[in-house]
Structure formats: C-alpha cells, structure tokens
Amino acid sequence: NAGVTQTPKFQVLKTGQSMTLQCAQDMNHEYMSWYRQDPGMGLRLIHYSVGAGITDQGEVPNGYNVSRSTTEDFPLRLLSAAPSQTSVYFCASSSVGTNEKLFFGSGTQLSVL
Amino acid sequence: AQKVTQAQTEISVVEKEDVTLDCVYETRDTTYYLFWYKQPPSGELVFLIRRNSFDEQNEISGRYSWNFQKSTSSFNFTITASQVVDSAVYFCALSEAPGTGFQKLVFGTGTRLLVSP
C-alpha cells in the first residue's frame, strides 16, 4: 500500500516558470490537501478538497491552483513561480470516520531562483 | 480564528532525561481536535496522537504521555527517558470538528528536540 505519493521529491525552478506538483493516494480517501512548510512557520494550508470536483482555499492560496478530477489525484500548480514559493510542500489525505487522521506524503522540496 | 503556540523553539537534553514540549491553543469552537506530529530529520510527518475536546484524560503510550487541560488551553507532550531517536521537530496542531477529514489543520511553529548521547 503506497499511501500518499508525491512527485517530484526535489525541484529547482527559475522565477516565472510554471510547474505542477503531483499528489496521488491509493486509499480511496475523500479528502486531500496541500500544505507548505517554511522555517519557523510550521505548516500552512494552501488548498484542500472534500471530494472530486470540489476544492477550496486555505490560509495561503495565492499563486497556486488546484483541481480534483479524480478521487486519487490532487495536483498543485504554480502558474508563475516566485522566490517566495521556495518551500517544502506536503500533500495529505484522509477519510471521514472514527479513526480520522491526516496521512502525509513525503514532501517536495522546491527552490525558486 | 484558531491558533497554536509552541513557545519552545528548540530544546536540548541528554539521553534519559525527561522532556516536556508545550502547546497552547486558541479556538472559539466548543468541539475541536488536537494533534501531535513528529518530523524526524528524514522529513516525513509521523502522526503521534489525536485528542478531542471532550476527552481530558491524560494518555500514555510507552515513553510518551500527553496532558490535555482545557482550563489552560494546553496540550503538552512529555517524553520520558528520552533517546537519541527522539531527536526531531514536534508539531502540535488544532482542527475543527470531524466531518472535514481534518483537512484544515492549524499547526504550531514546532519545537526542535535534540537528544544527545
């Protein structure tokens, strides 16, 4: 069981470039989300989804787009990368139930030069 | 708005010492959930515990214990007889009631624990 898979693990971009961070889960979870982790700031919610076709903004959504066309996948798009988006990105998923908790992917370290 | 404060940025202890990591939270919700996650040097996030606002019983799991006190809005984490493998960043987090899959966690800034041999 792979759980939550994020690709790539590392990425270097130039300012203005676009890219998509991939996230896939094989647990049939309804809920998925993206967080970014910056030094001294903990993790902050970017976007989340409560099911296929439904997404909403978190605390720091500017500069990022998401879509949820399938239950399994929740890609995060950077339309025009900026140095302020240098961060570690975590994807997470969960399912409603008595044992609800977030399952996190292993993270993507992104550097924008 | 919800907020989690981990005032201890970094703690250094010697192996076998006990250590307590503090977590203070703010919320207007009457029903909420509190979490602790561990992030070892490898970078992944490891779930440690989830506690709901109606359950103030302390919990013990091996060398780990948690003290939840609604009166002081605190959810502190104690490691007894610390080991080098406990070296990590520990995050406390807060969520609104379930039904959202806990997708909207509010994290503290983390406490880095360094355990020396």
Q: Report, as an integer, the average pLDDT of B52-79.
A: 91
Report which of B11, B9, B21, B13 is spatially closest to residue B82, judged by C-alpha positions.
Answer: B13
> Which residue in B has a C-alpha nearest to residue A57's C-alpha?
B104
For A49-85, write each residue's pLDDT tens digit.
Answer: 988 999 999 999 999 999 999 999 999 999 999 999 9
Q: For chain B, what is the mean pLDDT? A: 92
Task: Report percent pLDDT > 70 for chain B.
Answer: 95
pLDDT tens column, B37-60: 999 999 999 999 988 888 888 888
Cα-based angle A70, A106, B117 (whole degrees, multiple of 5): 160
Confidence of residue B71 (pLDDT cuts 50, 70, 90): very high
Residue A43 has pLDDT above 90, yes or no: yes
Q: For an interface test with B, give the residue of A37, A38, A43 to mutate (most B CBs within 10 A).
A: A43
CB contact under 8 A, A106 and B50: no
Please give, rounded to a whole number of angstroms, the shortest distance from the CA of A60 to a CA of chain B: 12
Residue B16: pLDDT over 70? yes
pLDDT at B61: 87
- Cross-chain Cβ contact B44/A106 below 8 Å: yes
Residue A99's pLDDT is what?
61
Q: Give the nearest partner residue to A95 out of B43, B44, B101, using CB atoms.
A: B101
B62: exposed, middle or buried (Cβ count in 10 Å: 0-12, 13-18, 19+): exposed
| Nearest CA-CA distance, residue B91 and chain A, Å | 8
pLDDT of B54: 87
Tokens of A24: 């896939």
For residue A100, the model assigns a pLDDT of 67
- State whether B104 and A58 contact (CB < 8 Å): yes
Neighbours of B13 (CB within 10 A): 16
Kindly determine whether residue B104 and residue A29, on different chains, have CB atoms separated by under 8 Å: no
